[in-house]
Structure formats: structure tokens, C-alpha cells
Structure 1
Amino acid sequence: MNTPIPLRGLLRTMILLRRFEEKIVEVYGRQDMKTPVHLYIGQEAVATGVCAHLRPEDYLFTTHRNHCHCLAKGADPTPLYAEFYGRVTGCCRGMGGSMHSSFPALGILGTSAIVGGGIPHGVGTALASRLRGDGRVSVVFFGDGASEEGTFHESLNFAALKKLPVLFVCENNGYATASPLANRQPSGDISRRAAAYGMPAERLDGNDVEAVYEAAGRAVEHLRRGLGPYFLEPATYRWKGHVGPGEDWENGARPRAELEEWKPRCPLARLLRRLETEGFDRAEYDLLLAETGARLDEALERARSAGFPPLDQPEHFLFRQGEC
């Protein structure tokens, strides 16, 4: 890319994503946040690098592990936390929990806990954008497990056939729940399947935010020029368990040594080392951590102190048109 990479801006976003999830870990044991949580710690470079290229009106679809995609797209932390607490001020008025976030004003029409469920939705909005000629692009985040669903192939085929402006981002963290990729697929190169449908497809280091930013820039430019879909497969690793604030090795779901091997590849630490070669002061990093933590503490308190939804709210959802 010809323009400089906004490294400090990317760092600020990744700090927000990491601290947002860490705050959930801190408070989850109090037992008043009842929703199951699927944490994104370790994968922050992917959401950050991709969403940096999106406009507010662009569409985004994602998975049960959606918090950080929403934040990177511009969502306010407070209604996210409020949703996790089941409060009426939540982004879905306390009815969606952590797996079904929705911010329509940001193009996030709803996240899905169904494996691969968001893929056809992103193709659908891309088709609508092409028919309307509104210039919007659609981005779909999903995991390596979703590449084993029939809807993955059907959606990629249709998107390529109609040259739709949709970016498929397969966050390959090597596991579908607790099942390793090598136990499920003969080849770990998922991008080859996308290339077979005639679209550009790239594999990249998903813990290198610069690499993700540059690849996503190429992809989004390709979409905005009307050249059809694009596929990215960033390889990364989630530190926490499939669900909850613990770690999968604690229940025997994966080897502890594997996690310890990945932690030194932390995307935040990697970017910080890169910035320090350009004179970035570690004290500035510590200040960003403190400021972000204070902001999120305030968001948590506002969310937790909000009221619960009224008992008749489900009825209102059913019969009031145009509300979300």
C-alpha cells in the first residue's frame, strides 16, 4: 500500500479489544453476568486490521465470538456490556446475550451462533448492495470450523458467480471447539478452496496486524472496484477456552504447551516491539492501558446499574415494526 500504516491507531484499537475481554474475565466470577462468553483474546490483530478499512455503512457479519469485531467496527462498549448483563440498555435490549450482538447503524445487522450462519447473510447484503449500487461492501468473519459447512461452499460459489462485493475472512485458529484442524481436514490450507471458486485468496499471519491491514486494504479496494469477492485466511490462536474465562488446557481440551508456544506471538506485544523501533515510549503504552481500563470500568458500572427489560418486552419486539 502507498499510504503509511496507522500503527498507533491500530495499537489503540487492539488495546481496547484486549482490555474489553480481560474486564469480562475479571468480573465473570461474580455470577451476575449470566450469558456464556466466547472471548477473542489472542486474535485482536484480525478484527483490527480488517475493520480499519470499513466505513460505518459497510455491512459486517460474524460469529458467537463477536465482541471485538463489533468494537473494531465502532460499537460502544457500554451497550455491549449491558447486553451481557441482560439489561434493557443493551444493544439488543438485554434479549440477545453475548452471542447475538446487533448494531444496525454500524451495518452489524445481527451476529449468529450458528456455525457458518453469517456467511450467506453477508452474501445477501452484498447482493443487495450490488443491485442498489450503494457502494457498500460486506465482510464476513468465521472460523475454520465453518469452512466445513455446506453454506460455505454455496455462498462462495454464488458470490463468485455474481461478482459480489463481499470479503470472506476465515479466522483459522486451528480448532472447532476442541477438535484440532488436522483431525478434521486433510489440508489445513482453507484458502485453496476459495481460490477454486475463482476469487483472490490469501493466507497470512493473523497475529501480524500490519500484514492483516495491508491484505485487508487490497481486498477492500478490490471489492469497491466491483471486481467480485475476496478471501483472507489469517492464521491465529485464541488464548481462552472455547467458552468462558478459563483456558482449554485446564479441562484437557488442548495441550498447555501449545498455548505457551503461541503466547509469545501476542499481536499486541508484536506491534509494540515494532513501534519501539520507531521511538515509541513504553510509558505511552502503559498510559493507553490505564486510560482504556478506566473507560471500560466506567462502561461496566453503567451497564451493570441499568434496569432489566420489562416483562412485556418480547411482545413489543414481535409487533412493533422497524425496531431492533
Structure 2
Amino acid sequence: MTSVHGTRKRRTKADGRGITARGAHRGELLHAMLRIRRFEERCVELYSAAKIRGFVHLYIGEEAVAVGVTHTLTAEDAVVSTYREHGHALARGLPAEAIMAEMYGKATGCSGGRGGSMHLFDASRRFYGGNAIVAGGLPLAAGLALGDHMCGRFRVTCCFFGDGAYAEGEFHETANLAALWGLPLLFVCENNLYAMGTALRRHEAQTDLALRAASYGMAAWAVDGMDVEAVERATGRAVESIRGGGGPHFLEMRTYRFRAHSMYDPDRYRDKGEIERWKTRDPIERLTDRMREDAELVDDELAEIEHRVTEEIDAAVAEAERAPEEPVESLLQHVTSARTEVT
């Protein structure tokens, strides 16, 4: 099967010496994480300038999860996300231009400008939301996985959700049916320790989420969600088992968001020292340091990656600025309603 990320190109160092396949792959992971980080930092600037409106939930700090997971999937696999999905969408392969236009609410956005930050969607890349309802994507993921299972397709459906969604009934109903029917479903719980402003220890009696998920009879384990290579290894192991008929798997990604829950959130429920301690485990810095130690990255290469990312984001913003608004005449397209005659 073809990777969703296409053919990987071999890079060379500035001095002309080739680098290892591991070094090249690490470079791809670093580029993907930096792309998400810089995209969202630009979104903060645009939001502050009132170019982007509505709810915006940033993924800064959690990039290792989106990148590590999606790099194990193929173009035929499906991804279901949450309202904090910019990172998932970018890692899945949605063009930055289409996402930025959607953030602007423009007609050229990936959801036609109608969804905004929380409803990114691209069926051609099997990216099914973006879902503003907490845990709302879980039953949809089960349906996608059930369809593949019934048709005998060797596909995996990957569903991202947070620790807050874990407490919802939709998770437990979906987990039970997925295990009962042996569905090819990968549960990826992004445990960032807070359900909006409520700490995990305050809403879950059992804070080892992987242990609790295992009670449904599925393979489940916890992963260091701040280490992109650890995420990729764990996901690869799970996906391989699912494709081999191993049924659903659950991965608890222990991660942390460096920013508040949303742009409207004053973030008064977390100790500032806790945030700073987690920042010392920044997934981008960890991979960068590792590559430097292994002589797989030099300053010129890092600067080149940053330059390419900046150029892409600049182009996406410029395109979003130029893009047309949706015409008023089209507002009733893609809208379904039921009329009831009152007598």
C-alpha cells in the first residue's frame, strides 16, 4: 500500500556526505512537527489581528502524537479527529492553503468555509473531521471500521480523542462494540491531563487510562506522547496487529498542551511551574537534540527546514487573504431540512 506521505526523498548534508535512512526519516518527522507548530503560532497572530474568528483550540506541545501516529498509516486508512485537529489535518496531508482558508472562513477552505477551526474535513484523504462534540467522533470511527470489516478491506480507522472524551459514554459504548466485533479500530487517546479546565485526577477514579481500556478485552498500553519516535514505534506495532486481525487497540498518549484549552481560556487552573516543567520535554526540541547528538542535523539544515515551513505558511496566508467569500446565493447548498406542515 502507498504511504499517505508519498515517496520519501533522501537528503544530503551541506558538506555533501550522505546521511542514514534513520537520519532522513527523523528529518521528515522534525519537518512535520515544525510545520504544525509554526502554522498554529501564525494562527495565534491572525486571531489576535481578528483575521480568524470563532473558537480556536491549539495543538502546541502535542505535535509528536499527530506526526508519529499518521506516519504509520496509509492513504487507504481513515482518520477521525476532534475539535483540536489542526495538527492531525496537517500531518494527514491536507494542504496548508486549504486549512488556512477554512480558518478564514473562505470558500476555498477544505470545508468550503463553513466549518472553521473545529470542522476541518477532507474525504479525498479519508480525513473525517474535526468534530465539535466531545467524543462525537468515536461512534463515527466505529461505523467506518465496521464498514471496512464487513467488506473485507484491510484498512485501519484511527480515532483521536482526549481524556475528557474518555469519560463520555460514547467511548465506552464504542470500545465495547469494537472489541465485541473485532473491528480494525485504533483508539488514540491524547491524555493531556486536562478536560478543558478539569484535571484528570478530578474526573477519573482510575487515571491509568490504558489499564481501564484493557478491561474491554483489547490490547492497550501507554506511550510517551512527547517523543515522536516512541509514538511511531508504538503505533506501528498496534497497526500491524490490527491489520493482521488483532482487533481494536488502544494507545494512551501521555502528552501536554502548552497553551490554554482555547483562545478564550485564561488558563487559571494550571500551575505555571507545571507548564514550564512540561516544556522541558518539548517534542520538537527533544528530537532536534537527539539528531544533533547523532550528527544527523546541523544548523544550516534546521534553518532550511524553518525556511521551507515559513514560505509554505506565508503562501497559505496570502492565498487565504485573496480567496473569495462564499456567495450569499450558495448558502442553502449542502443544507438538508425537513418541513412539517402545521394545520
TM-score after normalising by structure 2? 0.89
Choose from 285, 299, 304 the match for 1:287.
Answer: 304
- 1:99 equivalent in alignment to 2:118: yes
Choose from 289, 310, 317 the match for 1:300.
Answer: 317
Cα pair distance change 1:251/1:157, threshold 3 Å: closer
Structure 2 counterparts to residues 217-232 of structure 1, below 5 A: 217-232=236-251
CA offset at residue 255 of structure 1?
Answer: 1.5
CA distance in 2, matches of 1:150, 1:4: 41
Amino acid at match of 1:283: D
CA distance in 2, matches of 1:282, 1:235: 30
Given that 1:35 and 1:84 are in contact with CA atoms closer than 8 Å, whether structure 2 keeps it comes out as no
CA distance in 2, matches of 1:110, 1:273: 33
CA offset at residue 192 of structure 1?
Answer: 1.3
% same residue? 43
CA distance in 1, matches of 2:54, 2:303: 31
CA distance in 1, matches of 2:93, 2:280: 28
TM-score after normalising by structure 1? 0.94
Q: Which residue of 2 aligns with 1:114?
A: 133
CA distance in 1, matches of 2:98, 2:115: 12
CA distance in 2, matches of 1:181, 1:141: 17
CA distance in 1, matches of 2:62, 2:299: 22
Given that 1:58 and 1:137 are in contact with CA atoms closer than 8 Å, whether structure 2 keeps it comes out as yes
CA distance in 2, matches of 1:183, 1:312: 49
CA offset at residue 4 of structure 1?
Answer: 5.2
Q: Which residue of 1 aligns with 2:290?
A: 274
Choose from 157, 160, 165 the match for 2:176.
Answer: 157
- For the residue of structure 1 that corresponds to 2:303, the secondary structure is helix
Given that 1:56 and 1:105 are in contact with CA atoms closer than 8 Å, whether structure 2 keeps it comes out as no
Cα pair distance change 1:34/1:52, threshold 3 Å: same
Per-residue CA deviations over 1:182-216 (Å, capped at 9, x if unaligned) read 11112211111211011110101100111100000
Q: Is 280-289 or 204-213 further displaced after alignment? A: 280-289
Given that 2:135 and 2:171 are in contact with CA atoms closer than 8 Å, whether structure 1 keeps it comes out as yes
Amino acid at match of 1:30: A
Q: Which residue of 1 aligns with 2:87?
A: 68
Amino acid at match of 1:291: R
Q: Is 110-119 or 170-179 further displaced after alignment? A: 110-119
CA distance in 2, matches of 1:276, 1:4: 13
RMSD of Structure 2 on Structure 1 (CA):
1.5
Choose from 28, 31, 34 the match for 2:50.
Answer: 31
Choose from 161, 165, 187 the match for 1:168.
Answer: 187
Given that 2:260 and 2:267 are in contact with CA atoms closer than 8 Å, whether structure 1 keeps it comes out as no
CA offset at residue 7 of structure 1?
Answer: 1.3
Q: Which residue of 1 aligns with 2:278?
A: 262
Larger Rg: 2
Given that 1:276 and 1:282 are in contact with CA atoms closer than 8 Å, whether structure 2 keeps it comes out as no
Amino acid at match of 2:138: I
CA offset at residue 241 of structure 1?
Answer: 1.1
CA distance in 2, matches of 1:153, 1:47: 23
CA offset at residue 140 of structure 1?
Answer: 0.3
CA offset at residue 57 of structure 1?
Answer: 2.2
Choose from 109, 113, 118 the match for 1:90.
Answer: 109
CA distance in 2, matches of 1:79, 1:273: 32
Given that 2:96 and 2:312 are in contact with CA atoms closer than 8 Å, whether structure 1 keeps it comes out as no
Given that 2:58 and 2:262 are in contact with CA atoms closer than 8 Å, whether structure 1 keeps it comes out as yes
Amino acid at match of 1:61: V
Given that 1:58 and 1:136 are in contact with CA atoms closer than 8 Å, whether structure 2 keeps it comes out as yes
**Which ranges of structure 1 fall in alignment gaps of 5 or more residues?**
320-324
CA offset at residue 152 of structure 1?
Answer: 0.6
CA offset at residue 251 of structure 1?
Answer: 4.7
CA offset at residue 120 of structure 1?
Answer: 1.0
- For the residue of structure 2 that corresponds to 1:212, the secondary structure is helix
